[in-house]
Structure 1
Amino acid sequence: MRLMHVSMTGADDGTDPKELRALAREFLDVGVEWAVLSSAARAGTPRYPTDEWVHRFVAACPDVKKAIHLCGRDVDAFILGDARILKKLEGFDRVQLNFNQTRSPKDLDSLAAVANRLPHTFIIQHNQANSDACATLAPIVHRMTVLFDASGGRGASPEVWPEALPHVTCGYAGGLGLENITGELFRIHRAAGTRPFWVDMEGKLRGADDRFDLDTCGRILLRVRDALGAVTEWCSPLGDDARALKTDSLAPAGTSQAAHWSGESADGAKLNLSLSRALARYRARV
């Protein structure tokens, strides 16, 4: 499985950037990427941090993978080369441009011209509204990737994940969360084949009062780590029947194969203990 990173989106002013760094450092083997949403109209509301918080986040996490997702008027400002927006991108590794080309068409040549002046990797959402835009941009944006998310933010996983495109790195989003990450990760792995990929999640990382939930993030990362550790056993050239036999043999005694690989058999106390230790190590250093 060539999982590049797990992108977790939606930290905001209610999240301590130092806690984000601590959790990312605890899961270096998984490849955590924290993604923040940027919208001039929504800044300071849940999921959309203020510029002041973004500055603190970048300063607190210099050695952590970071992405920024531009939304709404911020995308238009980017295409115009607005100095404030371009300054805001500093310190981030990847930039996602969230737009709907069918509903609100963008000047793709101008978008590419600005993107190619910058060192970032760019992400374009690949869905029914943007498939033609992706085809146009792929040959002209130097560091372009695409994110499959047909759910359009509705938080639903597809019945079949799209196969990876041949000449561009692909990510997968849609309904991923604690209850399904293990099973969906293996399904995505099969869709991606031998190509590297990443996964992105947002809606199911929220807790009470729409707050970004670090405990849920930690639990998900533990399940991803377990899945990565088991993938060699899971992958088999003999087909689904042999694969089912392998997963049955790996499941704990008394646990069904389906429950084991959906993650529902995970020991909650163990997850809590592992996450508590990670955060305790952070708190002991500050």
Structure 2
Amino acid sequence: MINLCTLTGVDVRTDLGRVIEMAAAYPFLEFGILLSRTPEDKDPRYPQFRQIADMVERLSGRAKLALHVCGRAVGEFVKEPAKGAVYAGQDIHDLVAAGIGRVQLNFNFERFGLSVEEIDKAVRRTSAKVITQHFPANAPVSLGVTAPNHQVLYDASGGRGVAAAGYDRPFAGKYTGYAGGLGPGNVLSAVAAIQSVIGDDTVWIDMESRIRTDGYLDLDKCGNVAASIAPVLVASAASS
């Protein structure tokens, strides 16, 4: 069954009070916050570190939170630089400890210069669940990381809103998610398609680009998604 829906991209314009209300109304929701250190990542999806810290402080304990770590920040998370280096007072691990339940590392394994062993070690040393995206270039990570808190997200779209052509079975022994072009207009059909392939496994879904308007997270679209899938998820849970 699907037991979690991640709405990714809480930004500086997001009404956090509404986020808290939605989290209470729909306990299956998780809200993702994007973090990038890469200079070109300047669009509204990426709040500044201090803004993220404020969001986590306000939402911790009131909403399920995921931190989606992008670009060069992935290397920072994996290699865990010494305190005071590069980003003084902005340590990602401290941010995670403040109230993040899951961390998603967005990178391409073939281009990033990290070993599977380094990634596995980084996953093991954090108390959070750690997600890596699965697509062909990341297959060594999906299959090679053995940390018990490692999770895998099918996402060939990479946040570009490209719908998946189909859905594969979940990874054996790993909590598995599905993303790629999901939004208010197609989430119900996607949920049905996902449920048809997952058998007795429990999985989650994630969406980003199609729940934004003019670059910013649209909580009306998020609310439409939550309301439409709630009966399906509740019925699925009741029958399991």
Does TM-score exceed 0.5, indicating one fold? yes
What pairs with 1:242-253 in structure 2 (closer than 5 Å)? none
Find the counterpart in structure 1 of residue 92 from structure 2.
85
Find the counterpart in structure 1 of residue 8 from structure 2.
9
Deviations 1:43-96 (A, max 9, x none): 763111112221221121122110001111101111211341212222100001
Q: Closer, same or farther in 2 for the Cα pair 1:155/1:44, shift >3 Å? A: closer
Deviates more, 1:69-78 or 1:47-56: 47-56
Secondary structure in 1 matching 2:131: strand
Find the counterpart in structure 2 of residue 245 from structure 1.
none
Residue 232 of structure 2 is aligned to residue 227 of structure 1: yes
Deviates more, 1:183-192 or 1:17-26: 17-26
Find the counterpart in structure 1 of residue 52 from structure 2.
54
Provide the C-alpha distance between the structure 2 equivalents of 1:57 and 1:178, rounded to a whole number of angstroms.
25
What pairs with 1:10-29 in structure 2 (closer than 5 Å)? 10-28=9-27
Q: Tell me by how many angstroms 1:168 deviates.
A: 0.9
Find the counterpart in structure 2 of residue 216 from structure 1.
221
Kindly indicate whether structure 1 or structure 2 has the higher relative contact order, using CA contacts under 8 Å at least 6 residues apart: 2
What pairs with 1:138-153 in structure 2 (closer than 5 Å)? 139=146, 141-153=147-159
Provide the C-alpha distance between the structure 2 equivalents of 1:134 and 1:230, rounded to a whole number of angstroms.
31
Q: Closer, same or farther in 2 for the Cα pair 1:59/1:233, shift >3 Å? A: closer
Secondary structure in 1 matching 2:13: coil
Provide the C-alpha distance between the structure 1 equivalents of 2:52 and 2:221, rounded to a whole number of angstroms.
22
Alignment size in residue pairs:
229
Residue 155 of structure 2 is aligned to residue 157 of structure 1: no
The question of whether the paired residues in 2 share the 8 Å contact of 1:10 and 1:37 is answered with yes
Provide the C-alpha distance between the structure 2 equivalents of 1:179 and 1:49, rounded to a whole number of angstroms.
27
Deviates more, 1:74-83 or 1:6-15: 74-83
**Consecutive unaligned residues in structure 1, runs of 5 or more:** 236-286
Find the counterpart in structure 2 of residue 284 from structure 1.
none
Q: Closer, same or farther in 2 for the Cα pair 1:190/1:18, shift >3 Å? A: same
Larger radius of gyration: 1
Deviations 1:195-244 (A, max 9, x none): 0000000000111x211100000001000113235559999xxxxxxxxx
Residue 40 of structure 2 is aligned to residue 35 of structure 1: no
TM-score, structure 1 normalization: 0.75
Residue 131 of structure 2 is aligned to residue 123 of structure 1: yes
Q: Report the identity percentage.
A: 31
The question of whether the paired residues in 1 share the 8 Å contact of 2:60 and 2:100 is answered with no
Q: Tell me by how many angstroms 1:159 deviates.
A: 2.5
Find the counterpart in structure 2 of residue 279 from structure 1.
none
Deviates more, 1:197-206 or 1:144-153: 144-153
Residue 108 of structure 2 is aligned to residue 100 of structure 1: yes
Find the counterpart in structure 2 of residue 282 from structure 1.
none
Q: Tell me by how many angstroms 1:5 deviates.
A: 0.8
The question of whether the paired residues in 2 share the 8 Å contact of 1:18 and 1:60 is answered with no
Secondary structure in 1 matching 2:110: coil
The question of whether the paired residues in 2 share the 8 Å contact of 1:164 and 1:193 is answered with no
Q: Tell me by how many angstroms 1:21 deviates.
A: 1.1
**Consecutive unaligned residues in structure 2, runs of 5 or more:** 84-90
Provide the C-alpha distance between the structure 1 equivalents of 2:14 and 2:105, rounded to a whole number of angstroms.
23
Q: Tell me by how many angstroms 1:122 deviates.
A: 0.6
The question of whether the paired residues in 1 share the 8 Å contact of 2:116 and 2:140 is answered with no
Structure ranking higher in strand proportion: 2
Deviations 1:146-167 (A, max 9, x none): 0001223332222220111221
Secondary structure in 2 matching 1:142: coil
TM-score, structure 2 normalization: 0.88
Find the counterpart in structure 2 of residue 70 from structure 1.
69
The question of whether the paired residues in 1 share the 8 Å contact of 2:9 and 2:45 is answered with yes
